[in-house]
Structure 1
Amino acid sequence: MAASVIVLGAGMVGVSVALHLQRRGRQVALLDREAPGEGASFGNGGLIQREAVHPHPFPRSFSELRRIAGNNALDVHYHPMALPGFASPLLQYWWHSEPQRYAHAARAFAALITTCLDEHRALAEGTEAMALLRPIGWMKLYSDAATFDAALTQARIAHEQHGVNFNVLDSAALAAAEPHLQVSRLGAIHFTDPYSVSDPHALTLSYAHQFEAAGGRILRGDAMTLTRAGSGWRVQGADGPVEAEEVVVALGAAAVTLTRRLGYAPPYFGKRGYHMHYRLRGNATLNRPFLDTESRFLLAPMRVGVRLTTGAEFAANDAPPTPVQLERAEPVARGLLPLADRVENTPWMGVRPCTPDMLPIIGPLPGQKGAWCAFGHAHQGLTLGPTTGRLLAEMMTGEAPFLDPAPYRAERF
């Protein structure tokens, strides 16, 4: 078991952790019930969000809370019977969103986000992954002058404080940039730095292939079988037990189900999301992803078609899929772009793993020697996978971390 590690969870975060550890001389087994990239890493907006230096706070205005409470919005949907199970983490989420506490979280979040392009390039350059990272950014569209002005103020602050780059488009420039947009909007903010990933699943697979080429092993198995094995750890793989000196929990939304058994149960909640792909009619094109702030969902060009992604759904873990938001959004989306048929018969659904202070949990698992955490990235697992992989690998191998890991420590909960 010397210098060996089991990484539990083969999404973007787990794959990135495994790759960084393998490159640093660890013998790593990456274990999941599914093949790499089949969970939340599969379904997202496909953005490496260099501009996302401010995490999503809990809404604090009465008008916004009243809008969400109506349960007929495009961006938020909830199962009423599931709400009691969300009460404690959502109350803490509201508490952490108080302006002063939020400012502390935003500084720590920005420290991660500002590294994301460099860390993805460090893994992708010289491989087939680089072709998946399109340097085209993405746009937010606005139809209300006051909202547009407030967003521009925030964008300028983000530029001054964190180097976020953007262009401002008026109505005519937006129409020229997206000639097949079927509505007129007041203008748009084009965030120019982010990568738009043409196939997020393929990007995760590319990093997984690099991990295997470096000597790592990808195994199927049940992470929930994790137990102590002497001074190390054992988990049941499909082909038999796997043992290692150390273990990393990178299970996304399922992480706390496991860590609770090991004595660590931070407040944690999942936001379900859906996506569907559509063909475009005739010779229509979509040049870059955009979020129409009036409609509150993202449309992004992917290899297989235009991907429509929904907002957040709050539901019990075992509740069947209820793609209500997708059904509400599709007719609106058809008014924005000349969408043709659906590519798939069934919508994709995944769960985004969230903490109430809006920061991921990265570092040692309290009270468990040789166990480590890498989960809770909410909407930014795709963006922050390589950053998290490098930071945790440096901590585990005794290198000086390239970022201060203190804000993300597990002990804060």
Structure 2
Amino acid sequence: MTHRGTIAVLGAGAIGVSVALYLQRDGRDVVLIDQDEPGSGCSYGNAGLIQCASVVPVATPGIVGAVPRMLLDKNQPLHIRWRHLGSLAPYLLRFLREAQPARVEANARALSSLVPRAYEDYRPLIEAAGIQSMVRPSGELHVFETDAAFENAKAANFAIRRAHGVRVDELDAAAVRQMEPGLARSVRHGLFLPDCYQTVNPQRFVAALARNFIDNGGRFIKAKATDIALRPGGPVAITTDGGEIVSEMVVLAFGAFSKPWARKLGIAVQLDSERGYHVMLPEPGVALNRTVVSGEYKFALSPIDGKVRIVGSSELARVGAPPNYERAMRLLTLARHLLPGLNEAGQSLWMGHRPSTPDSLPLLGPVPANPNIIFAFGHNHSGLTLGGTTGKLIADLLAKRIQPSDLSPFSPTRFARAA
């Protein structure tokens, strides 16, 4: 069966759904394609935050000295699997280059052009879908049990945030406990980022946006895409297990699974899976008012549908590698200490694939040799955050309200060589 449409969007996560909605608002005929239901990938298991303060790239100067620990200690917040070191080498070399101070500043500046506007770019989509109750201003609370970790964070990560206009409030122990009474008495300091928003459940949030897309006449095709080809004269043919889809243009938004598709189009991108884990506690016995992040151990406790989700861990490995749920259980061990009294009954574990680039910047815009192909992937830890912003940018690009040069820091070919 052949479907025809103006634009096909490959991938129904937060990015793909938002792109489809913004294109639809411009009057485009859009087909959204994914083998799974909308919001079933990374959107299913993340902390549920729209983080308008997330302007710090992962690669920073302190990361270079930490690489040996990443390789040797599987309990490090960022771990690299030895057996995948060879295939990850090009990515890691570029990652280390991006940790140089000048590159950190450039990457933070680029993120600062996207992240602070994240909620405002979502707002029209949220209002059109009538799901204002699914998102609330909450802020994000980073807590510290030691003076050293607190001072280090202020001098490094949070100094970058402040330099790029992010509001950071410093809290003493009493102020932290007033915000989150259930936290351990060992917490001594807090750094609060007020410009963050909490979704009640990230998967349901994305699914609700997708329903609005469909209700407004958009088409969602649940099928596994297997190939892509450019037809004479410009149309793009997408082969799926349910038939062929021919469109004038394709937006590639498959997240961490986009790399082989880019290769099919002649572009080699430095994109790898940074795997994250969560533990879900359905009856935690302890209430949280907002997402809380451990300053020492880099994991988050998030309120999701009245439950507690323990989220964290970054593990570099190939996409098809089996999960290592010991990392999830390590999160649970750490959470017991930070949030005493947790009820662990009925816990469930999850692993997802963050689409990670060495510079923490997404790949956005047309492929120069094939302007009918648009990249919209590689959002690292900010896929949910940057859904609305990416959707608006891609729609503005196709409507010529902005030019590809306006997206130059996010160029699809900045890592590229001929595939």
Same fold (TM over 0.5): yes
Q: How many residues align?
A: 411
Does 51-60 or 257-266 show the bigger shift? 51-60
Mark the CA change 1:59 to 1:86 in structure 2 (over 3 Å): closer, same or farther.
Answer: farther
Deviation at 1:146, TM superposition (A): 3.4
Deviation at 1:403, TM superposition (A): 9.6
Indicate yes or no: 2:123 matched with 1:121: yes
Mark the CA change 1:162 to 1:123 in structure 2 (over 3 Å): closer, same or farther.
Answer: farther
1:378 corresponding residue in structure 2: 380
1:200 corresponding residue in structure 2: 202
Aligned equivalents of 2:4, 2:241: Cα separation in 1 = 23
SS at match of 1:205: helix
2:270 corresponding residue in structure 1: 267
Aligned equivalents of 2:106, 2:324: Cα separation in 1 = 35
1:349-400: CA deviation from partner (whole Å, max 9, x where unpaired):
1111112222111000232241110011000010011101110111112223
User: 2:162·2:168 contact (CA, 8 Å) conserved in 1?
Assistant: no
1:340 corresponding residue in structure 2: 343
Mark the CA change 1:174 to 1:319 in structure 2 (over 3 Å): closer, same or farther.
Answer: same
User: 1:77·1:325 contact (CA, 8 Å) conserved in 2?
Assistant: no
1:98-142: CA deviation from partner (whole Å, max 9, x where unpaired):
101221111111101111021111211254422121211111111
User: 1:352·1:379 contact (CA, 8 Å) conserved in 2?
Assistant: yes
Aligned equivalents of 2:257, 2:63: Cα separation in 1 = 31
Does 361-370 or 253-262 show the bigger shift? 361-370
Mark the CA change 1:159 to 1:295 in structure 2 (over 3 Å): closer, same or farther.
Answer: closer
1:328-350: CA deviation from partner (whole Å, max 9, x where unpaired):
121221122221134454x2111
TM-score by length of 2: 0.92
Deviation at 1:213, TM superposition (A): 2.2
Mark the CA change 1:156 to 1:296 in structure 2 (over 3 Å): closer, same or farther.
Answer: closer
1:201-225: CA deviation from partner (whole Å, max 9, x where unpaired):
0111121112112211000122232
User: What amino acid is aligned across from residue 241 of structure 1 in structure 2?
Assistant: E
User: 1:277·1:342 contact (CA, 8 Å) conserved in 2?
Assistant: no
User: What amino acid is aligned across from residue 54 of structure 1 in structure 2?
Assistant: V
Aligned equivalents of 2:157, 2:256: Cα separation in 1 = 30
Determine what percentage of the aligned residue pairs are the same residue: 34
2:30 corresponding residue in structure 1: 28
Deviation at 1:248, TM superposition (A): 0.7
Deviation at 1:270, TM superposition (A): 1.2
Aligned equivalents of 1:160, 1:75: Cα separation in 2 = 24
2:178 corresponding residue in structure 1: 176
Mark the CA change 1:77 to 1:160 in structure 2 (over 3 Å): closer, same or farther.
Answer: closer
User: What amino acid is aligned across from residue 379 of structure 1 in structure 2?
Assistant: H
User: What amino acid is aligned across from residue 277 of structure 2 in structure 1?
Assistant: Y
User: What amino acid is aligned across from residue 277 of structure 1 in structure 2?
Assistant: M
1:278 corresponding residue in structure 2: 281
TM-score by length of 1: 0.93
1:331 corresponding residue in structure 2: 333
Aligned equivalents of 2:225, 2:12: Cα separation in 1 = 11
2:187 corresponding residue in structure 1: 185
Aligned equivalents of 1:204, 1:281: Cα separation in 2 = 25
Aligned equivalents of 1:327, 1:77: Cα separation in 2 = 15
1:19 corresponding residue in structure 2: 21
CA RMSD of aligned residues (A): 2.3
User: 2:14·2:384 contact (CA, 8 Å) conserved in 1?
Assistant: yes
Deviation at 1:65, TM superposition (A): 3.1
1:63-121: CA deviation from partner (whole Å, max 9, x where unpaired):
53343233232412332111111111111011022101221111111101111021111
Aligned equivalents of 1:402, 1:290: Cα separation in 2 = 37
List runs of 5+ in structure 2 lacking aligned partners. Answer: none
1:106 corresponding residue in structure 2: 108
Aligned equivalents of 2:284, 2:377: Cα separation in 1 = 40
Aligned equivalents of 1:252, 1:411: Cα separation in 2 = 16
SS at match of 1:139: strand
1:210 corresponding residue in structure 2: 212
Does 145-154 or 13-22 show the bigger shift? 145-154
1:170-211: CA deviation from partner (whole Å, max 9, x where unpaired):
112212222111342111011111001120001111211121
User: 1:23·1:214 contact (CA, 8 Å) conserved in 2?
Assistant: no
